Amino acid sequence: MGPGTDMYRQQILDHYKNPRNYGELEDADIEHVGENPMCGDTIKMFLKLADDGDTIAGVSFIGDGCAISQASASMLSGELRGKSLEEVRGMEREDIEEMLGVDLSPMRVKCAVLAEKVAKDGIAIHQGDKDLEETTTE
Amino acid sequence: MSQQVEPLDVEALREDFPILQREVNGTDLVYLDNAATTQTPEQVIGAITDYYRNYNANVHRGIHQLSQEASIAYEEAHDRVAEFIGAAGREEIVFTKNTTESMNLVAYAWGLNELGPGDEVVLTEMEHHASLVTWQQIAKRTGADCKYIPITDEGRLDMDAARELITDDTAMVSAVHVSNTLGTINPVSELADIAHDHDAYMFVDAAQSVPNRPVDVEAIDADFLAFSGHKMAGPTGIGVLYGKEHILEEMEPYLYGGDMILKVTFEDATWNELPWKFEAGTPNICEGIALAAACDYLDDIGMEAIQRHEAELAEYAYDRLTEWDDVEVYGPPADDRGGLVAFNVEGLHAHDLSSILNDYGVAIRAGDHCTQPLHDVLGTAASARASFYLYNTKEEVDELVDAVDEARELFS
């Protein structure tokens, strides 16, 4: 590997090349899509809720774009399972950076937080707090 | 191009640019983002320092010595820029903030007043957002229509289509001289002829041409032409609008305020002479003077030599990058393009590529390069772009290619 390539630690490349929980969830309770128009990154998140209507029981995503955006979605899909909707809505950018394990340049933060933003907006729409067709990072 | 042009002494020229000595991520900087902004030579930095150390003052206002010196230098900077692009004189040179502001100046001062329903503005599919968005929005406000000259598979303008699209309804043709994405060198003089046959104006976006080749506004017969100082070894914050004197004379001001007026009463005002009519308020004095220094610097080297040097680097980069089957370079063939190459590596997003290249100290641009509609035509959201200037070397192109190869390996 080259002199740096810090942003592309093995973990991120692994999640990019072999995304976890990739695909559509047939019986999802929450579906939401978002894009980062500058890069062309798109992410659609699918969330399945447990019987309590508040705990995330299943997660999947589909998408296209740069390694940071797709790996972030893949890793997030694992993190969300078992969380309550409020816990997800309370997630912050720092949580995503910690999850990815890298320092992101300002230009790449948008890529990294796309999946998280899509999940949060999807939940907000589900709870009647937001009304939007599509999330964008702009 | 003349065959007698001497090759550039690049190693000597590099000494003029202190920033080229710095390191990035522990390795020598390879700066290949010159279409975005160029680096600044000591000669221009010296002009900036000289101004602030010795004669910083407001222009056109003071009787005192410093103001006189600043005024003369600032006015003469207009003369110098006029000479650089073959304009008749300072009357035809308006200093703005950048190319975008030059576009907006004409769009607001001429377009809002002159365009209406039934009028058409003809643009190209490879326009930078600076002209595309500007004319699109002015057209919306005036009821005029925008039409776009399509590009061929090779990334050139379809000139047959251009002749169909430019009609007696056309009021303005606005075209980019050298595409910042495709590297295409457009036949702007031919477009100007077609425009003039239909009594339309010709606006040339010369942001990517004035910095790196001889440009003569009279030879092109452009009615307007715009470019930015920071892409031609000058500072940011200074751009140029060239306009034919009789057209600028008839246009209303764009910004109102101090310095652009002749006489003011509570009821009315009259306008200053050209170009000051279009330079309201305190201008970027130092940057204007430094732009003239940049013109001196480039002319000393020779614009033909710079053009040839860039073309050689672009051809070399094109040839090396297209050795791989999984790399697509956009735009015309290697031997007929401006000094840049935009490309994509299959399975590797341009932003990822740029991030990895940065680890090797290689600075390129990644994204849509302010040509989103063109990227739609190309079928990609983003591309990587390496763009060259007079101080770049073939060895730096090799470093780019090696770093791209490392990125390919990492993602394979």
Residue B245 and residue B184 in one domain: yes
B286 an active-site residue?
A: no
Count how many Cα atoms sit within 13 Å of the Cα of residue B172 in the half-sphere of its side chain. 30
Mean pLDDT, residues B229-246: 98
Residue B399 near residue B360 (C-beta atoms within 8 A): yes
Q: Is residue A118 part of a domain?
A: yes
Does the pLDDT value for residue B136 go beyond 60? yes
Mean pLDDT, residues A92-121: 90
Residue B196 and residue B67 in one domain: yes
Residues of B in contact with A108 (CB under 8 A): 351, 355
Mean pLDDT, residues A90-100: 91
pLDDT of residue A2: 46
Residue B411 near chain A (CB below 8 Å): yes
Using the CB atoms, write b or e for B299-314: b if 16+ within 10 Å.
Answer: eebbbebbbbbbbbbb
Minimum CA–CA partner of A110 in chain B: B351
Confidence bin at B3 (pLDDT 50/70/90): low
Is B27 in contact with A3 (Cβ distance < 8 A)?
yes
* Overall size of chain B counted in residues: 412
Mean pLDDT, residues B62-90: 96
Residue of B129, B178, B136 whose CA lies nearest to B157 = B178
Return the structure tokens found at B194: 């077609």
Percent of chain B with pLDDT over 70: 99
Q: Are strands B362-363 and B30-31 parallel, antiparallel or unpaired?
A: parallel
- Best probe of the B interface among A1, A6, A39, by most B CBs < 10 A, is A39
Mean pLDDT, residues B295-309: 98
Q: Is residue A136 part of a domain?
A: no
Residues of A in contact with B25 (CB under 8 A): 3-4
Q: Is residue B5 part of a domain?
A: no
Q: Is residue B130 part of a domain?
A: yes
Residue in B27, B351, B372 nearest the CB of A108: B351
pLDDT of residue A136: 85
User: Global pTM?
Assistant: 0.93
Distance CA(B215)–CA(B206), nearest Å, equals 9
Note down the domain range covering B184.
45-299
CATH number of domain containing B252 = 3.40.640.10
Does the pLDDT value for residue B127 go beyond 50? yes
pLDDT of residue A138: 67
Confidence bin at A3 (pLDDT 50/70/90): very low
Residues of A in contact with B350 (CB under 8 A): 39, 66
Q: Which amino acid is present at A25?
A: L
Minimum CA–CA partner of A35 in chain B: B381
Q: Is residue B49 part of a domain?
A: yes
Mean pLDDT, residues B267-279: 96
Return the structure tokens found at B144: 């005029």
The per-residue pLDDT for range A26-50, each reduced to its tens digit, is 999 999 999 988 778 999 999 999 9
Number of domains, chain A = 1
For B125-147, what is the HEC assignment?
CCCCHHHHHHHHHHHHHHCCEEE
Q: Where are the beta strands (DSSP E) in B229-306?
A: 239-243, 261-264, 269-271
Count the Cβ atoms, other than its own, within 10 Å of residue A55: 14
Distance CA(A100)–CA(A12), nearest Å, equals 7
Number of domains, chain B = 2
pLDDT of residue A107: 80
**Which range has the worst mean pLDDT, B10-14, B201-205, B225-229, B357-361?**
B357-361
> Nearest-5° angle of CA A103, CA A104, CA A105?
125
Residue B51 near chain A (CB below 8 Å): no
Residue B207 and residue B316 in one domain: no
Residue B271 and residue B317 in one domain: no
Is B410 in contact with A1 (Cβ distance < 8 A)?
yes
A 41-60 → B contacts, CB under 8 A: none
Return the structure tokens found at A120: 């949060």
Residue B50 near chain A (CB below 8 Å): no
Minimum CA–CA partner of A109 in chain B: B351
CATH number of domain containing A53 = 3.90.1010.10
List Cα–Cα distances, B372 to A108, B128, B181, in angstroms: 19, 8, 10
**B277, B299, B321: which is the final residue of a domain?**
B299
Confidence bin at A5 (pLDDT 50/70/90): low
CATH number of domain containing B386 = 3.90.1150.10
Residue B289 and residue B331 in one domain: no
Residue A67 near chain B (CB below 8 Å): yes
A 8-47 → B contacts, CB under 8 A: 8, 13, 16-17, 37-40
Does the pLDDT value for residue B4 go beyond 80? no
pLDDT of residue B381: 87
- Best probe of the B interface among A6, A8, A12, A102, by most B CBs < 10 A, is A8
Q: Is residue A49 part of a domain?
A: yes
Cis peptide before B275, with omega less than 30 degrees from 0? yes
Mean pLDDT, residues B304-328: 97
Q: Where are the beta strands (DSSP E) in B207-268?
A: 224-228, 239-243, 261-264
Confidence bin at B265 (pLDDT 50/70/90): very high
Residue B107 and residue B227 in one domain: yes
Residue of A11, A16, A2, A9 whose CA lies nearest to A111 = A16
Q: Is residue A130 part of a domain?
A: no
Is B351 in contact with A68 (Cβ distance < 8 A)?
yes
Helix (H) or strand (E) holding B149: strand B145-149
Confidence bin at A7 (pLDDT 50/70/90): low
Q: Is residue A45 part of a domain?
A: yes
Is B411 in contact with A68 (Cβ distance < 8 A)?
no
Distance from A30 to chain B by nearest Cα, in Å?
27
Residue B31 and residue B51 in one domain: no
ipTM value for the complex: 0.84
Higher pLDDT, B25 or A19: A19
Minimum CA–CA partner of A9 in chain B: B410
Residue B62 and residue B35 in one domain: no
**B299, B325, B343: which is the final residue of a domain?**
B299
Return the structure tokens found at A54: 């508040």
The per-residue pLDDT for range B33-68, each reduced to its tens digit, is 999 999 999 999 999 999 999 999 999 877 899 999
Q: Is residue A80 part of a domain?
A: yes
CA B287 to chain centre: 16
B 338-377 → A contacts, CB under 8 A: 349-352, 355-356, 358-360, 367-368, 372
Minimum CA–CA partner of A67 in chain B: B352
Minimum CA–CA partner of B26 in chain A: A3
Distance from A103 to chain B by nearest Cα, in Å?
12
Mean pLDDT, residues B278-294: 97
Task: Name residue B264's beta-bridge partners.
Answer: B269
Handedness of CA B357, B98, B312, B294 (dihedral sign): negative
Is A5 in contact with B351 (Cβ distance < 8 A)?
no
Does the pLDDT value for residue A4 go beyond 50? no
Residue B393 near residue B400 (C-beta atoms within 8 A): no
The per-residue pLDDT for range A48-87, each reduced to its tens digit, is 999 999 999 999 999 999 999 999 999 999 999 999 999 9
Q: Is residue B4 part of a domain?
A: no
**Helix, strand, coil abundance in chain B, percent, nearest 5:** 45, 20, 40
Note down the domain range covering A68.
6-125
Q: Round the average pLDDT of chain A to a whole number and report it.
A: 90
Q: Is residue A131 part of a domain?
A: no
Residue A125 near chain B (CB below 8 Å): no
Q: Is residue A67 part of a domain?
A: yes
